[in-house]
A and B are shown apart, each in its own frame.
Chain A
Amino acid sequence: AQSVTQLGSHVSVSEGALVLLRCNYSSSVPPYLFWYVQYPNQGLQLLLKYTSAATLVKGINGFEAEFKKSETSFHLTKPSAHMSDAAEYFCAVSDGFNKFYFGSGTKLNVKP
């Protein structure tokens, strides 16, 4: 079975500061891991995905995530936050072709 834990339901950073959103997963098989972003009253947009290729994955809007098997983590980072990054972020795990399991989400607030 797969599951995802996102630590911190709310994260607040200043504009220009580092963004770090945490995600830990559990999976009985090699996982596929994803980060999605959701803006208010919209669906989810894929930021990046890990599918057993490079462990450091680069996504859109300057985001990247590193798959660390030993830590069962897939934390999302961005070197410098922008006001437009304020949104809710969801980490998800899948075994590839079956169900997705989403974390509880982390709302990112960016202060001017």
Chain B
Amino acid sequence: AQKVTQAQTEISVVEKEDVTLDCVYETRDTTYYLFWYKQPPSGELVFLIRRNSFDEQNEISGRYSWNFQKSTSSFNFTITASQVVDSAVYFCALSDSGYSTLTFGKGTMLLVSP
């Protein structure tokens, strides 16, 4: 059975601080995909990144970066120089073999204050 754990329920930072959101996953499959989604207060789910299990390269996109470490089954997400617009709930998700359904973590609410 697959499982995604986001241990941080809520994080509060002040604008311009860096913040890391943790994600730990469990799966028995050797091929799987990991995702991060953002859910702003408006409620829609915004896709941020997809990573497959064979690609452990870290990725940077603007102020966002992701650290994938198979050895610790973690896929952490860092926002550099946070902004108020980053305030949202962030979900880590896993999809393994089969029919591509996503197993989500419980989400981390990020509050960035000015």
Does B associate with A?
A: no
